[in-house]
């Protein structure tokens, strides 16, 4: 699906939202790194192009990716995967919605989110979940405008690889 947008010189550009391919994974990795820098975690990214290809396009894909492109260049991505809620049943998790910083404010993030919600609807999920960093007010406003509830009284909990190894060492 193509959408017209305007650049800073007021020229019309078109962007397209589509399913990602293996060939897009280098550009998707660059967006992931850009997001990590934006979120002040520049050294946190461990995935590689190869791992994205294996995990996203293997026999049992761990995720699905949508990309936004302008002039055949990937400028945004949304990465989702299936989850299960003991209260609701099948749900979809939006891991990241990323738009190149120079392309923000043109409706690309909104169009990517629309594609994620349409995908969830086709899958007949009961809910779509994602996290947003507390100081990303632009994203929070977009999500709330779209009808999402930002649950400010919940905390995200995770064990990183080192935490998992330490945990296992303490129960063996």
What secondary structure, in 3-state letters, does 25-46 show?
Answer: HHHHHHHHHHHHHHCCCCCCCC
Q: Is 143 labeled as catalytic in the residue annotation?
A: yes
Measured CA to CA, the distance from residue 25 to residue 138 in angstroms comes to 26
DSSP string across 41-104 = -TT-----HHHHHHHHHSSS-S-EEEEEEETTEEEEEEEEEEEEETTTEEEEEEEEEEE-GGGT
Please compute Rg for the chain using Cα positions. Answer: 17
The catalytically annotated residue of 143, 144, 157, 168 is: 143
Residues recognised as catalytic? 143
């Amino acid at each position: 699906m193509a959408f017209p947008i305007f650049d800073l010189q007021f020229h019309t550009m078109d962007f397209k939202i589509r399913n990602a391919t293996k060939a897009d994974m280098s550009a998707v990795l660059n967006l992931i790194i850009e997001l990590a820098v934006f979120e002040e975690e520049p050294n946190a990214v461990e995935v590689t192009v190869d791992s994205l290809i294996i995990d996203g396009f293997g026999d049992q894909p761990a995720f699905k990716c949508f990309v936004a492109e302008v002039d055949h260049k990937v400028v945004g991505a949304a990465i989702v995967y299936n989850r299960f809620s003991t209260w609701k049943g099948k749900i979809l998790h939006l891991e990241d919605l990323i738009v190149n910083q120079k392309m923000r404010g043109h409706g690309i993030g909104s169009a990517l989110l629309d594609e994620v919600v349409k995908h969830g609807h086709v899958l007949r999920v009961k809910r779509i979940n994602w996290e947003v960093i507390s100081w990303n007010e632009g994203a929070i406003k977009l999500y709330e405008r779209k009808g999402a509830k930002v649950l400010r009284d919940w905390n995200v909990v995770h064990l990183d690889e080192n935490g998992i190894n330490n945990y296992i060492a303490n129960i063996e």
